[in-house]
């Protein structure tokens, strides 16, 4: 199954040219759906939110497992530091510099071309291929969550996020932990009559480094205070009785909300504070995920990757994304692999053009391996 590298790049360029910030994905999703329909595939637009559809194609080809191919079409906002139009991009040899070229419209292009070729060459595989282009990965993952809430089922999943040199077998999770502290208001001229929520929360923050972070051989846990809010925006001579922080908590496999809160509660208990501490979670939430290197999907991927590159894959582990949700909440064994790219979310985001077609070839090889024709 031959893949035209220039066609793959041209499709990527067309996708990049359509601005698709989170909440503004309708135009690019309609383009994706129409491209698939022009290729003879039955592409459906399914609502993930108002004017925010996912694109879903289901290729059924006899008995066998179901293989999910997934990518997102939204991008981060363009930095003012871009030296050229980030949507038109700039090509220099085999590199293309543009917003979303790597993260991840090239991966979507590779997936779309692979889907077309799988449809054209049904004699190479047996089973079902589910192709999904989703919205909102850069924000709250409402696209992936809509698929899962709709009963998504598959036996294997490949998310085509850029990761050519280090295909990913796992990622840290993310919890946004909210800590709300309630004290007692009083006139600030007599602070001893109140309980200052800001001061009590400051005591907690000052000792936050004492909370032990779980360890993992491949994924790092961490915590960062993102915001601290207390008192009134207006000038008042009052002891603040409310204070709130938000902690960005990156987790490793095995951690759960309960264990994260238990560790923070232990610190609160040791403070012996007169204030009241309450814990909650703000969206988005991504459980950490990891697939075993011995899993049949990983073994088959390694073979397909080596046949394309002539080297064994050097696996990596990444930040959170839709793959966390497919792997954990949907329970689908997942690998992340896409074209070679770099400087994501930056003004010099770049893409290696030949790797788009290479990614399509790896997808075709992998799907044929995991969805074999019955002999």
Span 232-241, pLDDT tens digits:
989 999 999 9
Q: Are 107 and 338 in contact (CB under 8 A)?
A: yes
- Residue written as token pair 């199954």: 1
Q: Which residue's entry shows tokens 């938000």?
A: 246
> Band of the pLDDT at 319, cuts 50, 70, 90?
confident
DSSP string across 66-106: EEEEEEE---PPPPTT-SS-TTT-EEETTEEE-TTIIIIIH
- Taking the CA atoms of 47, 52, 54 and 55 in sequence, report the sign of the dihedral they define: positive
Cα distances (angstroms) measured from residue 253 to each of 138, 177, 247? 22, 18, 19
Domain parsing of the chain, residue ranges: 5-171+288-370, 175-280
Residue 321 near residue 173, CB atoms below 8 Å: no
pLDDT in tens, 12-46: 999 999 999 999 999 999 999 999 999 999 999 99
Q: What is the pLDDT of residue 366?
A: 98
Q: Is 296 helix (H, G, I), strand (E, B) or coil?
A: helix
| pLDDT value at residue 375 | 62
- Measured CA to CA in angstroms, residue 329 lies from 83, 91, 140, 287, 288 at distances of 41, 39, 15, 8, 10
CB atoms within 10 A of CB 84: 11
Average pLDDT over residues 125-144: 98
**Average pLDDT over every residue of 213-239:** 96
What does residue 271 show for φ and ψ, rounded to 5 degrees?
A: -70, -30
**CA 145 to CA 136: how far, in whole Å?**
10
Q: CATH classification of 175-280 is 2.40.30.10, yes or no?
A: no
Encoded tokens for 177: 């932990």
**CATH code reported for the domain at 5-171+288-370:** 3.40.630.10
Q: Considering only CA atoms, which of 254, 319, 266 is closest in space to residue 103?
A: 319
DSSP state of 260: H
Neighbours of 149 (CB within 10 A): 12
**Residue 295 pLDDT exceeds 90:** yes
Percent of the chain with pLDDT over 70: 100
pTM (two decimals): 0.94
Please write the tens of the pLDDT for every residue from 162-173. Answer: 999 999 999 999
The backbone torsions φ and ψ at residue 225, rounded to the nearest 5 degrees and listed phi first, read: -75, 120
Closest CA to 356 of 26, 65, 6, 116: 6
Tell me the C-alpha distance between 228 and 225, whole Å: 8
Does the N-terminal peptide bond of residue 371 adopt cis geometry, omega within 30 degrees of 0? Answer: no
Quote the tokens at residue 75.
């991008």
Average the pLDDT over 134-152 and give the result: 98
Average pLDDT over residues 335-348: 96
Residue with more model confidence, 263 or 233: 263
Q: How far apart are CA 243 and CA 185, in angstroms?
A: 12
Residues 6+ apart with CB under 8 A from 280: 177, 178, 180
187-208: per-residue pLDDT in tens?
Answer: 999 999 999 999 999 999 999 9
Distance CA 259, CA 18 (A): 43
């Amino acid at each position: 199954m031959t893949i035209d590298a220039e066609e793959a790049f041209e499709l990527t360029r067309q996708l990049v040219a359509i601005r698709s910030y989170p909440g503004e994905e309708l135009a690019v999703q309609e383009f994706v759906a129409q491209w698939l329909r022009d290729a003879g595939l039955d592409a459906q637009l399914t609502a993930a939110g108002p004017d925010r559809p996912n694109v879903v194609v289901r290729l059924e080809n006899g008995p066998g497992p179901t293989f999910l191919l997934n990518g997102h079409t939204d991008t981060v906002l363009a930095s003012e530091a871009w030296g050229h139009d980030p949507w038109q991009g700039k090509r220099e040899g085999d590199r293309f510099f543009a917003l979303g070229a790597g993260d991840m419209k090239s991966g979507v292009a590779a997936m779309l071309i692979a889907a077309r070729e799988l449809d054209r060459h049904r004699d190479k595989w047996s089973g079902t291929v589910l192709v999904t282009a989703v919205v909102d990965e850069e924000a709250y993952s409402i696209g992936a969550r809509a698929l899962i809430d709709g009963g998504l089922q598959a036996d294997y999943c490949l998310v085509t996020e850029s990761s050519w040199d280090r295909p990913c077998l796992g990622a840290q999770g993310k919890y946004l932990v909210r800590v709300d502290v309630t004290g007692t208001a009083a006139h600030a001229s007599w602070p001893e009559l109140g309980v200052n929520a800001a001061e009590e929360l400051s005591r907690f923050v000052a000792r936050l480094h004492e909370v032990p972070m779980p360890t993992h051989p491949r994924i790092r846990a961490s915590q960062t205070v993102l915001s601290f809010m207390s008192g009134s925006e207006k000038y008042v001579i009052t002891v603040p009785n409310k204070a709130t922080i938000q902690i960005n908590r990156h987790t490793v496999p095995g951690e759960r909300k309960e264990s994260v809160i238990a560790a923070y509660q232990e610190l609160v208990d040791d403070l012996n504070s007169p204030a009241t501490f309450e814990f909650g979670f703000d969206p988005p939430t991504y459980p950490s995920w990891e697939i075993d290197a011995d899993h049949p999907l990983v073994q088959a991927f390694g073979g397909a990757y080596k046949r394309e590159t002539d080297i064994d894959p050097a696996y990596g582990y990444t930040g959170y994304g839709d793959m966390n949700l497919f792997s954990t909440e949907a329970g689908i064994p997942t690998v992340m692999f896409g074209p070679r790219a770099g400087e994501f979310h930056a003004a010099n985001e770049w893409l290696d053009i030949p790797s788009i077609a290479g990614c399509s070839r790896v997808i075709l090889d992998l799907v044929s391996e995991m969805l074999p024709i019955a002999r």
